[in-house]
Amino acid sequence: MKRKLTVLILLLSIVLSLVSCDRIEEIKGYFSSETTGEVTGTESVTEFETFELPKAEFVDPLTGEPSDKDLSGKRPYAIVVKNDRIASPQFGLSKASVLYEASVEGGMTRFLALYSDPAKADKIGPVIDSRVYFYDFAANHNAIFVQAGTTSDGNKAQVSRGITALDAIVGEMTPGFYRDQALSATRGFENSVVTEANGLKSRADQFGIAQRSEKPVVPYIITDYLQTRDMSAGSYCTYLSIPFSTNMVVEYTYSTLTNKYSRVQYGEPHTDAATNKQLSFTNLIILIAEYHTLNISSGEMSVVNSGHGSGYYIFGGSRIMVTWQRTDGDNPIKLYEADGVTPLEISSGNTYIAVVSPRLSGKIEFERTSS
């Protein structure tokens, strides 16, 4: 043992002899520059400089995240997008700030994609015809409605509620829309209508649609993007499966690396055709609402989203119960915590909202089951 200690002392002496006096002073200076306060014995008090992240000049009112332009007072755009095997993968969904998904006839679902600035995506689509309850979803955000046709009940709702939609099949398709020839050739004529990057704003001007308003554009509170939404009272939820029908089951899996839930449909990652990246969301909201059949022959449905109901909010690997209230379709829905009094607060980031029938809500899975 004594021999080993002697060898160590010898090696240390050699190393110190190779370091110049100037280098030693430099090293001493480095450590003394971090030391402020008095030295007592062998102890020192070290203070580390703290940094405060700069506050963004502008934030996206739909996501609460920093924006490179002032979007305050501007109405968002709500675009109806088709969702089936042929229409997938769609264009521009990864750029949506809020994405609704609801059942339509045939056991399929359809999207309503909301954008504070639709020009963020070169094209969005395929744009498809609307259903009556999609106007209600858009009213939650005071949004300008965008579609490629609607049903007879949809036409009646537009007239009775004074909704002027930007419709791809009313008048000339441009500005605002065009048929993508590649999509027409590969996916069929009805899957080829997409939006122009800047054309929707020009079309809104042509139809005299107000593009500014002081009304709120979200029916909940968004946490400051520099803070984290507290979910300590929630239940564990890193996986979600929503069975809209036997033919349409969507899944979300949480990643601690991205703090987002990635989407799977038809058993494979659901990607954006423009970027080839999997769709992922910071916030997931499930609203449980009754569906009724309007037309037995066509299967067209309506959603009873007035009155009150329940649902879930999912974020950061946890879920909580929520409630919703609404007087009628013209007024935005109001989301609350489980007590029905405290307004729901969600994290900053993009949001997915599923509208699910209570008949199927009991089949929602919040943890992966082994097959």
Q: How confident is the model at residue 197 (pLDDT cuts 50, 70, 90)?
A: confident
What is the CATH number for 290?
Answer: 3.50.90.10
Does a structural domain hold residue 257? yes
What tokens were used for 359? 């008949």
Per-residue pLDDT tens over the stretch 68-97: 999 999 999 999 999 999 999 999 999 999
What domain range is 185 assigned to? Answer: 73-361
pLDDT in the model for residue 33: 41
Does a structural domain hold residue 23? no
HEC profile of the chain: CHHHHHHHHHHHHHHHHHCCHHHHHHHHHHHHHHECCCCECCECCECCCCCCCCCCCEECCCCCCEECCCCCCECCEEEEEEECCCCCCCECHHHCCEEEEEECHHHCEEEEEEECCHHHCCCCECECCCCHHHHHHHHCCCCEEEECCCCHHHHHHHHHHCCCCEECCCCCCCCCEEECHHHHHHHCHHHCEEECCCHHHHHHHHCCCCCECCCCCCCCEECCCCCCCCCCCCEECCEEEEECCCCCEEEEEEECCCCEEEEEECCEECECCCCCCECEECEEEEEECEEEECCCCCCCEEEECCEEEEEEEEECCEEEEEEEEECCCCCCCEEEECCCCCECEECCCCEEEEEECHHHHCCCECCCCCC
Q: How confident is the model at residue 46 (pLDDT cuts 50, 70, 90)?
A: low
Give the pLDDT mean for 238-243. 97
Does a structural domain hold residue 205? yes
Q: How confident is the model at residue 53 (pLDDT cuts 50, 70, 90)?
A: low
Does a structural domain hold residue 235? yes
pLDDT in the model for residue 222: 98
Higher-confidence position of 368 and 111: 111
Residue 277 pLDDT > 90: yes
Residue 27 pLDDT > 70: no
Higher-confidence position of 43 and 269: 269
Does a structural domain hold residue 348? yes
Q: Are 58 and 70 in contact (CB under 8 A)?
A: yes
Residue 146 pLDDT > 70: yes
Give the pLDDT mean for 36-40. 46
Residue 117 pLDDT > 50: yes
The domain tally of the chain equals 1
Residue 47 pLDDT > 70: no
Return phi, psi of residue 153, to 5°.
-70, -35
Least confidently predicted of 12-21, 86-95, 98-107, 238-247: 12-21
Does a structural domain hold residue 322? yes
Does a structural domain hold residue 175? yes
Q: How confident is the model at residue 22 (pLDDT cuts 50, 70, 90)?
A: very low
Does a structural domain hold residue 10? no
Mean pLDDT taken over the chain: 88
